[in-house]
Amino acid sequence: MKYLLFFGLITGSIIVNAQTSDNATPDPSKKTSTVEVSCGQCNFALPGKGCELAIRIDGQAYFVEGTDIDDYGDAHAHDGFCEAIKTAEVQGELKDGKFKVSYFKLMEKTTENDIEK
C-alpha cells in the first residue's frame, strides 16, 4: 500500500509539472512584456466568484488563461496574489477579453515589485 501511495504522489508531481512547464520558455520571435499580476477579484476589481489570476496592462486588467493562480503558491498567504500585486514577464495575446499566456515568469520579489495591500 505504501508503494502505491508513493507511486501516486510521484505520478501526480510529474503531471502537475508537465502542465505548468508549457509556458516556461519564451519565444524569441515574440515581444516579452513586464506586467502587474495579482488576483483579479481581490486586487484588480474584476468580477467573479473566486480568486483567479489576472494581469494589468496599461491600467486595464484581464484574466489569464494558460496558467493558474495556484501554480505559484498559496494565493492567500501573506505574500500571495490575493495579498500583493507582483510583476511578471509575459508573452501572449488578448483574445475574447482574456490574456492567453504562452510564457509567464514571475519576477523576483523586490520592494518595487510587490505592492502589499
50-59: pLDDT as tens digits:
999 999 999 9
Say if 21 falls within a structural domain.
no
| Structural domains in the chain (count) | 1
Average of per-residue pLDDT across 68-91: 94
**pLDDT value at residue 20:** 45
Q: For the chain, first and last CA: distance in Å?
A: 46
With respect to residue 78, please indicate whether it lies within any of the assigned structural domains. yes
In the numeric block, which cell numbers belong to residue 79?
Answer: 505574500
The DSSP element (H or E) to which 54 belongs, if any, is strand 53-57
d(CA 66, CA 97): 14
- Helix (DSSP H) and strand (DSSP E) numbers for the chain: 2, 6
- Whether 1 is in a domain gets the answer no
In a domain, 110, yes or no: yes
**1 falls in which pLDDT band (50, 70, 90)?**
low
For the whole model, what pTM was predicted?
0.73
Residue 6 falls inside a structural domain:
no
Instruction: Please give the residue range of the domain that contains residue 85.
Output: 30-116
- The CATH number for 108's domain is 2.40.50
3 state DSSP class of 67: coil
